[in-house]
Structures are given as structure tokens and as C-alpha cells.
């Protein structure tokens, strides 16, 4: 199994044993058919066991798998007539972002992707999929073009994050990301986002303000890479696995938090095992979601997108100041007490639907 992941080791071992047995049987002319069948069955059971219990940390490695299909791989498989368009018309052509026109099920769409390299040379040319401002601005230019011609936008998110370099800063990395967030909110066409690998931080979000945000089963999406979080929180980047567990980065977690709308299933073992199956599943989801939004007015699409993001976040309201006084006077030494206090806040929060409060107050503001 090429490019196997550490948790797949037992499978590889067993596969080797089966092959050895087959070979041994052939050499010695002994019939092992029954034994082999039994082993194959055990192999499938083990496979089922391993692949249905992939941990968040394992998903992080899976999402970054070198052979995982990139945006361009999927674009070629999902769409027809892909016509790549280049440049931001201001500075250059950032190859970490690809985009252009394509047909999905006969309909012309604008498609964008964050593009990792397929090998070292390609990775260097594409800055490992980490965009500079010109990449985000190229994306925005193509999105505005789609808006003008009234065609849907589909973006594939796959980046560790925006490029952290001095050149990017000088050209306004912050502004480029922020501008995309603002302008994407204004788009009057359907926007569907698919997180296909790693959705890292603001660099991912800059192309992910969609009416629908979908994630591949083993993709991850977070505010900061688990490696970054580990080095800040515990001053130890090697604790990335631990951070991955704590940060709730999997598609399942995000669906539960209502940050995404749908999880697109991957072929057994991950999308890298079978590109075609992965592409078919994505294609089916894209067509279905586009169908659902068919006939929506520009206002409806904008309102829908606004509400999607407006409701995200969980906050609570504290009792008036007098009731809080004792908390402030508490000695810092009361670590245990501090925790129990915090827990009571959490309970308070979960009693009311987390999203209901802001929405309710939003309409309150709108008097």
C-alpha cells in the first residue's frame, strides 16, 4: 500500500501474511484456499474496524496525505471543459490558487481551488498551497466575474493557511483576506464551498464564505493548525496530535456545531485510495445543493449566507453585576472552585439553544 499511514500498519502486516501464504502454497503445491479465505475475512473485519474509528489526529495526517487528491485532480474529474483563468490584474498570478470556468452537469460555473503541489517542484511553485494576497485577489476577481455573469461559484478549500512571509505582509495579506470575507458576503450567486483536505485558518476562510459549506469525511477545518496551537498552548509543536483532539477539527464536529451543512463520504481508507469514487460523491452533492438553490433571488442568496454565519458562536449572559461580585473577590488559589464556577456557566449555556440567543437579539436590534 503506497503512502500508508501509521494506523494502517496492522492491515499491511496482514496483507503481507496473506500474500506469503499464497506464494508458499503455490511453491509447495498445497491448497490453502480455505485458510486464505478466512484470513481475507479477518482482513476485511480489521479494515472495517480501523477505518471506522479514525481519530482526529489520524484524520489530520490523512487530510495532509501527499497522495490525497488536490483541487485540480478533483476539478478534472468532476467538471468538463475546465478553462483555467489566471492573475489578479494587480500584481501577479499566484499558483497557490487556481480558478476558471467549467461545466457541471451542463451548467457553466466558476470554480476555484487552493492548490497544493503534487511533488516538491510543484509545491515550491505553489507555495505548498499557501496563498499570497495576489492569490486571494485572483480568487475575488473570478468570483466577481461569476457574479456579473450570474453563474454559481464552487470553491475547493485545501490549505495550511495564508502564506506567512514578509512579501505577503507588504502587499496586505490581512486586507486581502478581509476583503474576500466582505465581498463574498455580497455575492448574488450561489456559493458552494467544499473543504477537501486541510482548512487552515483565515487563508481557508478567505475562499469559504458560502451558502453551503461541505466537507469531505476526513477533511479538517480549524482556526489554527494543530501544530501551531500546540506550540502556542504547550510550547511544543510535537503535541499536535493532542491539540487535534482538543480542537474539534473533524467534519463530524463541525456538522454538530452547524458550521458545515454536510459531510461527503470518502472511499474506504480515504480519498487517496480512489479518486473517482471521491469525485463522484462530491459531484452528486454539488448538483443537489445547486438544485436546491435554483431560482433563488440575489437577495435570498445573500440573506441565506448572512444568516448562516450570523448564527455561529456560543455566548451567554451573566446575571447583573451584584451577583458576580463574589467571583471577582475569589482568590486565584481556588483553582477547583474556579472550575466549578466555569462549569455552571457551561450548563447555563447548554440549557438554552446556543444559537438562539444571538438570533433573537439580532431581531431585537432590528427594531
Partner 1 sequence: MFKDIFQKKRKYATIPSERAIPGERQEAVERPKREIPEGLMNKCSKCGTIQYSKELEKNLKVCPACGYHMRLNAMERIAMVLDEEGFVEHDADMVSVDPLGFPGYSSKLEQQRLKSGLKEAVITGEGTIEGLPVVVAVMSFDFFTGSMGSVVGEKITRAVEHAIEKKLPLIIFSTSGGARMQESILSLMQMAKTSAALARLDEQGGLYISVITDPTTGGVSASFASLGDIIIAEPGAVFGFAGRIVIEQTIRQKLPDDFQTAEFNLQHGQLDMVVHRKELRATLGKLLDMHSEKGGV
Range 172-231, binding partner 1 (CB under 8 A): 172-175, 177-179, 181-183, 185-186, 201-202, 205-206, 208-209, 221-224, 229
Least distance in angstroms from the C-beta of 249 to partner 1:
7
Which run of H or E residues covers position 193?
Answer: strand 191-200
Contacts of 189 (CB under 8 A, 6+ apart): 146, 147, 150, 151, 152, 153, 298, 301
**Closest distance of CB 291 from partner 1, Å:** 25
Q: How far is the CB of 319 from partner 1 (least distance, A)?
A: 8
Under the binding rule (CB under 8 A), the answer on residue 24 touching partner 1 is no
Comparison of 207 and 279: residue with beta carbon closer to partner 1: 207
CB neighbourhood size of 214 (10 A): 23
Q: What x-and-dash track marks residues 335-354 binding partner 1 by CB under 8 A? A: x--xx-xxx-xx-xx----x
Q: Site residues for partner 1, window 84-103 (CB under 8 A)?
A: none
Give the C-alpha separation, 176 to 171, whole Å: 9
Closest to partner 1 by CB, 105 or 316: 316
Show Cβ contacts of residue 353 under 8 Å, excluding neighbours closer than 6 positions.
none
- Residue 75 or 143 having the CB closest to partner 1: 143
Query: Which residue, 46 or 178, is less far from partner 1 as judged by CB?
Result: 178
Q: How many CB atoms lie within 10 A of CB 249?
A: 27
Instruction: Give just the sign of the alpha carbon dihedral 74, 79, 85, 88.
Output: negative
Q: State which of positions 148-177 bind partner 1 (CB under 8 A).
A: 162-166, 168-175, 177
- 100 or 199: whose CB is closer to partner 1? 199
The C-alpha atoms of residue 366 and residue 126 are separated, in whole angstroms, by 45
Q: Is 126 exposed, middle or buried (0-12, 13-18, 19+ CB in 10 A)?
A: buried
Query: Minimum CB separation from partner 1 for residue 119, in Å?
Result: 20
Site pattern 34..73 for partner 1 (x: CB under 8 A): ----------------------------------------
- Do residues 146 and 186 touch, judged by C-beta distance below 8 A? no
Considering the complex, state which of residue 2 and residue 333 has its C-beta at the smaller distance from partner 1. 333
Under rule CB under 8 A, which residues in 227-266 are in contact with partner 1?
229, 232-233, 246-249, 253-254, 257, 259
**Centroid of chain to Cα 60:** 11
Measured from the CB of residue 276, what is the shortest distance to partner 1 in angstroms? 30
Which of 195, 147, 152 is closest to 293 using CA atoms? Answer: 152
Site for partner 1 in 286-325 (CB under 8 A): 305-306, 309-310, 312-320
Nearer to partner 1, 141 or 248 (CB): 248
DSSP calls for 129-143? G---HHHHHHHHHHH
> What are the cell numbers at 168?
505577503
In the complex, least distance from residue 141 CB atom to partner 1, rounded to whole angstroms: 18
CB-wise, 24 or 317, nearer to partner 1? 317
Q: Residue 61: CB partners within 8 Å, gap ≥ 6?
A: 5, 6
Helix (H) or strand (E) holding 361: helix 356-365
* For partner 1, the closer CB: 45 or 310: 310
Size of site (CB under 8 A) for partner 1: 77
Amino acid at each position: 500500500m503506497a503512502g500508508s499511514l501509521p494506523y494502517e500498519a496492522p492491515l499491511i502486516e496482514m496483507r503481507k501474511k496473506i500474500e506469503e501464504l499464497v506464494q508458499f502454497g503455490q511453491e509447495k503445491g498445497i491448497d490453502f484456499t480455505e485458510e486464505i479465505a478466512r484470513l481475507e475475512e479477518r482482513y476485511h473485519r480489521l479494515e472495517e474496524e480501523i477505518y471506522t474509528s479514525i481519530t482526529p489526529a489520524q484524520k489530520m495526517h490523512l487530510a495532509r496525505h501527499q497522495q490525497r487528491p488536490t483541487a485540480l485532480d478533483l476539478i478534472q474529474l468532476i467538471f468538463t471543459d475546465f478553462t483555467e483563468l489566471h492573475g489578479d490584474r494587480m500584481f501577479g498570478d499566484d499558483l497557490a490558487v487556481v480558478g476558471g470556468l467549467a461545466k457541471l452537469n451542463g451548467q457553466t460555473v466558476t470554480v476555484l481551488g487552493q492548490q497544493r503541489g503534487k511533488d516538491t517542484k510543484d509545491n515550491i511553485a505553489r507555495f505548498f498551497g499557501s496563498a499570497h494576497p495576489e492569490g486571494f485577489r485572483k480568487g475575488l476577481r473570478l468570483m466577481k466575474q461569476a457574479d456579473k455573469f450570474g453563474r454559481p461559484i464552487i470553491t475547493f478549500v485545501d490549505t495550511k493557511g495564508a502564506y506567512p512571509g514578509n512579501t505577503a505582509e507588504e502587499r496586505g495579506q490581512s486586507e486581502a483576506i478581509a476583503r474576500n470575507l466582505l465581498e463574498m458576503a455580497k455575492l448574488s450567486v450561489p456559493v458552494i464551498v467544499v473543504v477537501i483536505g486541510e482548512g487552515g485558518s483565515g487563508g481557508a476562510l478567505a475562499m469559504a464564505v458560502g451558502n453551503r459549506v461541505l466537507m469531505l469525511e476526513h477533511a479538517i477545518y480549524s482556526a489554527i493548525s494543530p501544530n501551531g496551537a500546540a506550540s502556542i498552548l504547550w510550547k511544543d509543536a510535537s503535541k499536535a496530535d493532542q491539540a487535534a483532539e482538543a480542537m474539534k477539527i473533524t467534519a463530524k464536529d463541525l456538522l454538530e456545531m452547524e458550521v458545515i451543512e454536510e459531510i461527503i463520504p470518502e472511499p474506504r481508507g480515504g480519498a487517496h485510495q480512489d479518486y473517482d469514487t471521491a469525485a463522484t460523491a462530491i459531484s452528486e452533492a454539488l448538483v443537489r445543493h445547486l438544485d436546491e438553490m435554483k431560482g433563488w433571488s440575489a437577495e435570498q442568496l445573500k440573506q441565506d449566507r448572512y444568516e448562516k454565519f450570523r448564527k455561529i458562536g456560543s455566548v451567554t449572559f451573566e446575571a447583573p453585576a451584584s451577583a458576580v461580585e463574589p467571583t471577582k473577590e475569589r482568590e486565584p488559589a481556588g483553582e477547583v472552585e474556579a472550575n466549578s464556577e466555569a462549569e455552571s456557566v457551561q450548563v447555563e449555556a447548554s440549557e438554552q439553544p446556543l444559537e438562539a440567543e444571538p438570533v433573537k437579539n439580532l431581531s431585537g436590534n432590528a427594531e
